Amino acid sequence: MRNASYIEHTGQVSDHLKWFATNSAFTKINTDMFKRVAELTSLPLTELAEMLEISRPKLYQPSATIDKKVRERLISLVMISDLAFQLHDGDKDKTILWVMSPNHLFFGRSPFEKALAGEAESVIAKLQEMVA
């Protein structure tokens, strides 16, 4: 798995991190953006809160502190988004649809769900294979 230094040196990924994070240390997330993600994926807020390992009431605050494990999962999600963006020739709408949709390559789970469950390795490997 690539680390945060990879993230900092990748232009597209940095833009996505700003979308998710409320501070440069990436220790807090923008909860409004994650509520929008929940709408896109039709995930209940309770399930999203569990995936982020934060209490559901914190999703109703402007930002919520996340721990290192969740931060790593979100970095994986950003990497997946970046690779999917490359795969779809820079088409943002196709990228979002692919990342959020259930996929037979991942046994009916979306790349988003796989990343937040800590299972991003197979998605990243498959995307790297497809992009090459």
Q: Where are the domains of the chain?
A: 4-131
Whole-number Cα distances in Å, 67 to 1, 25, 42, 89: 18, 12, 24, 33
Asked if 63 and 30 count as a contact pair (C-beta separation under 8 A), the reply is yes
Tell me the pLDDT tens digit for each residue of 99-132.
888 999 999 999 988 998 889 999 999 999 998 8
Range picked from 22-26, 57-61, 124-128 for highest mean pLDDT: 124-128
Give the predicted TM-score (pTM) of the model: 0.73
Return the higher-pLDDT residue of 30 and 18.
30
Tell me the pLDDT tens digit for each residue of 95-108.
888 988 899 999 99
